[in-house]
Amino acid sequence: MGFFNKKKEIDKKINWNIKRKCLDLILESAKSSYPNEFGALLRVDEKEKHTIVELVLLPGTISGNSHAIFRMHMLPIDFSIVGTVHSHPSPYPIPSEADFALFNKQGKVHIIVANPYTLSSWKGYDNTGKEIEIQVI
């Protein structure tokens, strides 16, 4: 397999999914944490590599009204962890500069949920901060 074939494979668009039960847990956790931010890691199913099925709570995560700080040194060696999720107390699920830095360093897929933490107040992003569609299944 040559360089160009590898590049083509890397550029291939991933179709991400999230289980409804997992999304509901994210939204309820964000509501429960309000007015502070909620933060967790996203885990995929081992068989369905692009379907988010679980949250992983990272020990030592610090939450405040304008931040969720992950202690990445506490990250377990777990290749099913593919990204992060965090909430914004505001109604805007738009990444901040700190969010862009996190996305770039950690994972392939990221979710921001915003107040009022409903099925219509969240967005998915790739590791570059580009908005992506994540289908709820």
Q: Which residues of the chain have pLDDT under 50?
A: 1-10
DSSP letter string, 67-105 = EEE--GGG--S-TTEEEEEEEESSS-----HHHHHHHHH
CA distance linking residue 73 with residue 54, whole number of Å:
20
Q: What is the pLDDT of residue 4?
A: 44
In the chain, what are the domain boundaries? 14-136
Phi, psi of 40 (to 5 degrees): -160, 175
Distance CA 63, CA 94 (A): 18
pTM for this predicted structure: 0.83
The per-residue pLDDT for 136 is 98
Backbone phi, then psi, for 136, in 5-degree steps? Answer: -85, 125
Please tell me the total number of residues recorded for the chain in this structure.
Answer: 137
pLDDT at 71: 60
Backbone dihedral angles phi then psi of residue 64, each to the nearest 5 degrees:
-140, -175
Distance, in Å, from the CA atom of 129 to the CA atom of 83, rounded to the nearest integer, reads: 12
Q: Tell me, what amino acid is at 42?
A: L
pLDDT at 58: 72
Topology adopted by domain 14-136 = Cytidine Deaminase; domain 2 (3.40.140)
Contact 82, 105 (CB under 8 A): no
Contact between residue 129 and residue 96 where contact means Cβ atoms under 8 Å apart: no
**Which phi-psi region, left, alpha or beta, contains residue 52 (left: φ > 0; alpha: ψ -120 to 50)?**
beta
User: Considering just the CA atoms, what is the radius of gyration of the chain in Å?
Assistant: 15
